[in-house]
Structure 1
Amino acid sequence: MGADEERPPLPPFDLQSALQKVQAAEDAWNTCDPERVSKAYTRDSVWRNRNVFVTGRDEIVAFLTAKWQRERDYALRKSLWDFHGNRIAVRFQYECRDSAGQWWRSYGNELWEFDDHGLMRRREASINDLAIDESERRYFGPRTDAERGQDIPLQ
C-alpha cells in the first residue's frame, strides 16, 4: 500500500480526529473534483446515496461527475454527529442550483466506516431536498477560516 493509500487520521477515532476527518471530507467535496474526492475511499468502497448504489472508485468518480454537472454552485457543510472506533456519523447540508436556475438546500445524514488506513470503505447517505429562493441561501462556497468548527443549523 503506497502513501496515497493512507488517509490520516486513522481509526480508532477520538473527538479531535473525528472532527478532523469530517472537515477534510467537507473540504474535499467542496472542490467538486471527483478524482480528488475518490482518493479518500477504498478501491472497493460501497455507497448508498439516496436510492443509488455505487461500488468502487471508478463508479464514485462517475457518480460525482454527473452529480456536479447537475448541481451547480455546490456548497457543502458537514457536522460531526457521533463517532465510535472506525465509524463516524455526520449530518450535512448543501446548496446548489439546477440547470433551470432553481436553488436547492439538501439536508442529510451519513454513516461512514473506515479501514485501518483511514480510507472510507462504506458510506450510506440519506438526503432530502428543499427548493429555496436565491435570497434564502446561506452557503457561498467553502467554509471560511472563521466558520470552521461551527455547527450547522437544523433548518
Structure 2
Amino acid sequence: MWGGVMSDKRPPFPPFTTETARQKVRAAEDAWNGWDPERVSLAYTEDSEWRNRDTFLRGRAEIVEFLRGKWEREQDYRLRKELWAFTDNRIAVRFEYEWHNHEDQWFRSYGNETWEFDENGLMRRRYASINDLPISADERRLVL
C-alpha cells in the first residue's frame, strides 16, 4: 500500500545501494512486526517462491496462510533484521526474533535470509534458515 492505494511496485528499486538496501531491510522488519499477513504479502511477487525452514511456499495466498499460522503459534513476536550483504537485486540479512508459545515458553530464533527482487522492487525469492533457542522471560532483549 502506498498512499492508500495497492501497488505492484515497492521502492526502492534495484540496483541497490547501501542506503536503499538498508531501507528494504527496515521496511521488511517494520512490516513483519505489524503481524498483518496481507500487508506483508504485498511486498512479494504474485508467484514469489519461499523456503522457510523446511516449508516451501509459492505465491501470496500461501504466504498469507503461512504467516497467519506462524503468528498464531509465535505469540508476541518481535523481530530485528540486519543488512548482511547486497548486490544489484539481491539482499542477505541476518535476524533474530523472540516469541512465546501457548504454554508461555519464550524462544529466541536466529537466522539468515537471502532475498531476490524483481525490477519493481517486489521480492520474488525468499530463503530463510532459522534456529530456535528456548529462553526465560527475563532473558528477553526485544521487548515490545
Alpha-carbon deviation of 1:3?
A: 6.1
Query: 5 Å matches for 1:4-153?
Result: 4-141=7-144
Runs (4 or more) in structure 1 with deviation over 6 Å come to none
TM-score (norm 1): 0.89
Alpha-carbon deviation of 1:20?
A: 0.3
> What secondary structure sits across from 1:67 in the alignment?
helix
> What secondary structure sits across from 2:119 in the alignment?
coil
Q: Which runs of 5+ in 2 are unaligned?
A: none
Report the residue type matching 1:42 in the other structure: T
Q: 1:128, 1:12 → 2: CA distance?
A: 31
Identity %: 64
Alpha-carbon deviation of 1:140?
A: 1.4
Report the residue type matching 2:53 in the other structure: R
TM-score (norm 2): 0.96
Q: 1:136, 1:90 → 2: CA distance?
A: 23
Aligned residues between the structures: 140
